[in-house]
Amino acid sequence: MALLRILEAPDPRLKQRAAPVAVVDDAVRALMDDMLETMYRAPGIGLAAPQVGVLQRIVVVDLGPAEARAPRFLVNPEIVWRSAETVVGEEGCLSLPEQFADIERAKAVRVRHLDRDGEVQEIAAEDLLARCLQHELDHLDGILFVDHLSALKRSMILRRLQKQRRQRA
């Protein structure tokens, strides 16, 4: 397994729509393993392939603690149902390090996807898992969490991110 470089906004690849995966093969599984290792190291709870510069519809998620890992691998995921009830919660993103904002999302979702073996699966998710899945699936369509904010709040976060980058340089 290898650590991958996580792209940071405003990298234009983060705004592109990812292509569907034709077949779940060893190359896709290796990419998912590398993504998972990268996500754990960051650390994060979800990572979409576009965040590592791969424009394919692949997501890895793990909300479990380090001592009880429970990774989920999703290929070509799609939300097939979302609750009418919404909740507001704080979100951050590995592609916008150390930036956070309150985002409104559906409280519950059902996501259909292919697993590591290419088999169709469905996840019924609520609360944090639902939020994480919606956030990561947004990445597959070129949407960042800041795109759910007003233009003013979005530009404030992006300016803070640029300032942070200059200070690191």
Q: Which residues carry out catalysis?
A: 136
- Pick from 55, 111, 114, 41: nearest CA to 83: 111
C-alpha pair distances (Å), 4 with each of 9, 109, 113, 134, 137? 16, 29, 23, 22, 19
